Amino acid sequence: MNGADAILATLADNGVEACFANPGTSEMHFVSALDREPRIRPVLCLFEGVVTGAADGYGRMAGKPAVTLLHLGPGYANGVANLHNARRAYTPIVNVIGDHATYHRKYDAPLTSDIEALARPNSRWIGVAEDADHAAYLAAEAVRHSFGPPGGSATLVLPADCAWSPATRKGGVAERPMPAAPDGAQVDAAARALKAAAKPVVLIGGQACEARGLAAAGRLAAHGIRVLTDTFVARQPRGGARYSPDRMPYFAEMALSDLAGADLMVLAGTTQPVAFFAYPAMPSVLVPEGCQELSLAGRAEDAGAALEALADALGAPAEAAPNGYAVPERPTGEINAYTIGASIARHMPEETVISDDAVTSGLPIFMQTRGARPHDWLALTGGAIGQGIPVAIGAAVACPDKKVLCLTGDGAGMYTVQGLWTIARESLDVTVVVFANHSYRILGIELSRTGAGKPGVSAASLLDLGDPRIDWTALARGMGLPAVRCETAEAFDAALAGAMGQKGPIVIEAAMS
Amino acid sequence: MNGADAILATLADNGVEACFANPGTSEMHFVSALDREPRIRPVLCLFEGVVTGAADGYGRMAGKPAVTLLHLGPGYANGVANLHNARRAYTPIVNVIGDHATYHRKYDAPLTSDIEALARPNSRWIGVAEDADHAAYLAAEAVRHSFGPPGGSATLVLPADCAWSPATRKGGVAERPMPAAPDGAQVDAAARALKAAAKPVVLIGGQACEARGLAAAGRLAAHGIRVLTDTFVARQPRGGARYSPDRMPYFAEMALSDLAGADLMVLAGTTQPVAFFAYPAMPSVLVPEGCQELSLAGRAEDAGAALEALADALGAPAEAAPNGYAVPERPTGEINAYTIGASIARHMPEETVISDDAVTSGLPIFMQTRGARPHDWLALTGGAIGQGIPVAIGAAVACPDKKVLCLTGDGAGMYTVQGLWTIARESLDVTVVVFANHSYRILGIELSRTGAGKPGVSAASLLDLGDPRIDWTALARGMGLPAVRCETAEAFDAALAGAMGQKGPIVIEAAMS
């Protein structure tokens, strides 16, 4: 048993079942050890941004970490953007970053870099192995720390000699840390404040948006209290009889207009809402002036239980009011986010997982699927586009029996387009819908919102993806996936019905203009 | 004039002519200001690894920095791997990283991260703007610091309000720092040591591999002294009558065997050679035991002038010996790196720029083009694959009159495949040759060299790109480029002859197996 064997056995003992990887020379012993650890499934991704995004999607759906295998500082750095999104999703992930052998690091070979410095901003814990036994010990620590609470990336830097040297023992089995029980005083304070407030709102996020918290939030709504979710929620069960609250609008002025007159904001599983970006002469904090803020439960607490206790304390009804949702009619005519949303609501099967990186197209679809068949919605939590395809991969690996529907803008999709190959390689049950509007459309909106003026030739060239137009069916086929391009709402509806009705991967290019 | 205008005017005043960009909301005023600064050409890349690699290729060929435009921490992080390569190439680059407005940062909005921490490992200088005038001042400082010596990335963090607020003045015009003149005592010491040594070798790298240093090195060789270059040189003029020294072998055991018996190593423009990776029971330092090391000139010194002074001191001949190179015959049969190298040597026009990310296929081509028509060879300096296509983009923007030939492995090419779109968008005169061996072949070699054993099913799956096979002609066409797949040496020779004989971009997939 070498260090790599001991690490993998320890990870498997701690429940790790998937390894998303893009290895290099310094990880060869880890790669070889995967042959001897059948409990962990290796999944090759052709770029590290796919690796880390897949680990995020896996962690959101499995509720436990996958392990990533990354090649020194540059390999890790390629995965940072999606680890940033995962940090904002509080997803448990164990990153193993291969490094030069301990004795080799001082020579500053070409691939040497300051891995710890690169990893620090997106790691809730970092361990640097000193020898093989230490590496195995750290593997268990990494799993434990990945759970938080709240969850996050635990990073294990693994010098090559710690992997190839003999190990004498595995690491232990770490106890999973649990979120703190709700604080009775906070629950009482929130109940009192809600009773006294004229126009209160309860803002939920993170763990409060899981099944238990949502059900309790639905009881609060049935009691007459307005409930909102964060704009971007890591994983939100929706559809069917589930309570589906509104979410905070993305744009600051819309959020503040929506909240006008609110005199109390109770926060559960989240923190004070702030604008995604600053704009000239626009406030940063999305709480109306004079509105009291009160935290019911932070991210490290059991916000779902706290909401339940709050609903009980208020004597709220036992259940949320029914949705009153009607399945949309078959859409016709020009294809747009509304017609696509209607088709998705019509055809997606029960337990679909939606990976949303659709940017400007996401909200109309979110609205229309409110009461569709039960599904999970995984949002872009950290604003770093390129999450959609990778997160879909991870969700599909975590949930092989569920249909995964990836919604991605064309600009966002190009960031991690290599993920299509992994979907093909693993025959994942993923339908990728690409919103081909041939632009960074959100930036066209933001350019005017920031007061930067009308775009001239240079500015316009930096927002436009239309010259040349990207042919997503060619890209998909080039990576081994079937693909179809739809030009009308009717064609899309038919293509999506087909994709939803059978197993296996496909790419649907929705021609938006 | 707002801060963005002042920055761009300052950059242009300091000779910056190209902006490789992937902007977001926080960069909208910078984008808009590009409309008002016609001296700087904006080039959109669909992923930041393309942005930074293009800036590297540009800087290597132009000898001055391009500016990159990147979107907060995640956008910067996406570009880190190629900035790592650029750090090892000592390429001058100015990175502008847009950040939240100064007053917005404290709210920890979703895209907030510790940009300085992420940027530190690959920046030789970081400036964080505090207001619009300060930003303009820092723009000039960034250009100055990018030159070193030696060159590197200078990073300017630009909060959105520093771009959109009024500026009262531009930054200055920075004086370009020059490398230090050679140290006469070091030159004398090296000359004395070389005279006394039985089997000396001169190792050159970096600035010593530019025209002046190479010519002087050729004189040393004509004087009977063995000259080697670093394994990976940022930019090496080769071909024609230019002196073309051997390079240090990549694998440690081959390098040490090549150097066996050497009793003196004189270093010019580089440092002690070390193994790219550590291997069990293999030394890290690639200097034979008992071999004396002597630095003639470090990276911050004028190593070319130092080599010239050394050649004079030794009374070396005025010129290198002629190459005695014969153009290869037309290759036939199965396609491989040797037949491809022969075709390249036959057909590439004068002044071609080769961007090499071909991994296992690179060396045979390097050998065969030794005396081909004059060209520049840009190597993968930092070991982070995915450099080839982006560096080709930057070289083509810097040198619109030169043919650019990108050599990329299929594994490496997938890392930054989005770059094909920019080649099409800008109609760059780039021929991309993809070595389609459907594997991370180097890792197959390294797996056995590291003693990790024979790959089983899991390990093999992490080295194999063959299931499904990637169709590069489909990927290229999907991004607007013409493409051809060649299955024989004859077909490749004909396709390359066509590509070299006309202007404009094309992708050639070389079917290697």
- A109-124: per-residue pLDDT in tens? 999 999 999 999 999 9
Count of helices and strands (H, E) across chain B = 21, 18
Q: What distance in Å separates the CA atoms of residue A356 and residue A451, rounded to the nearest whole number? A: 28
Cβ–Cβ below 8 Å for A81 and B100? no
CATH number of the domain located at residue range(s) A184-313 in this protein: 3.40.50.1220
Q: Which residues from chain B sit within 8 angstroms of residue A382, using beta carbons?
A: 74, 110-111
CA trace torsion A141, A147, A153, A155 (10° rounding): 0
Strands A236-238 and A375-378, bridge-based pairing: antiparallel
Q: Which residues from chain B sit within 8 angstroms of residue A46, using beta carbons?
A: 411, 414-415, 465
Tokens linked to A93: 């992930």
CATH 3.40.50.970 domain residues, chain A = 3-164, 337-511
Residue A113 burial (CB count, 10 A): 24
Do residues A60 and A127 lie in contact, with contact meaning Cβ atoms separated by under 8 Å?
no
Provide the pLDDT confidence category of residue A424 given band limits of 50, 70 and 90.
very high
A65 prior amide bond cis, ω within 30: no
CATH 3.40.50.1220 domain residues, chain B = 184-232+239-313
Share of chain A above pLDDT 70, in %: 100
CATH T-level topology, domain A3-164:
Rossmann fold (3.40.50)
- A269-322: per-residue pLDDT in tens? 999 999 999 999 899 999 999 999 999 999 999 999 999 999 999 999 999 988
At position A512, the amino acid (one-letter code) is: M
Say which residue the tokens 């640097």 belong to: A128
Beta-strand ranges (E) seen in A342-479 are: 352-357, 375-378, 404-409, 430-436
Share of chain B above pLDDT 90, in %: 93
Q: Which residues from chain B sit within 8 angstroms of residue A442, using beta carbons?
A: 25
The mean of the pLDDT values for chain B is 96
- A110 closest CB neighbour out of B276, B280, B443: B276
Cβ–Cβ below 8 Å for B384 and A74? yes
pLDDT (0 to 100) of residue B117: 97
Identify the CATH class of B337-511: alpha beta
Query: What is the value of ipTM here, to two decimals?
Result: 0.97
For the residues A365-374, what does the mean pLDDT come to? Answer: 94
CA-closest candidate to residue B71, choices B157, B149, B145, B1: B157
Do residues B424 and B398 lie in contact, with contact meaning Cβ atoms separated by under 8 Å?
no
- A274 closest CB neighbour out of B109, B411, B425: B109
Q: Which residues from chain B sit within 8 angstroms of residue A475, using beta carbons?
A: 474-475, 478-479
Q: Which CATH superfamily is domain B184-232+239-313 in?
A: TPP-binding domain (3.40.50.1220)
Distance from CA of B291 to the nearest CA of A (A): 18
- B291-306: per-residue pLDDT in tens? 999 999 999 999 999 9
Q: Which residues from chain B sit within 8 angstroms of residue A68, using beta carbons?
A: none
Provide the pLDDT confidence category of residue B409 given band limits of 50, 70 and 90.
very high
Q: What distance in Å separates the CA atoms of residue B85 and residue B62, rounded to the nearest whole number? A: 17
Distance from CA of A46 to the nearest CA of B (A): 7
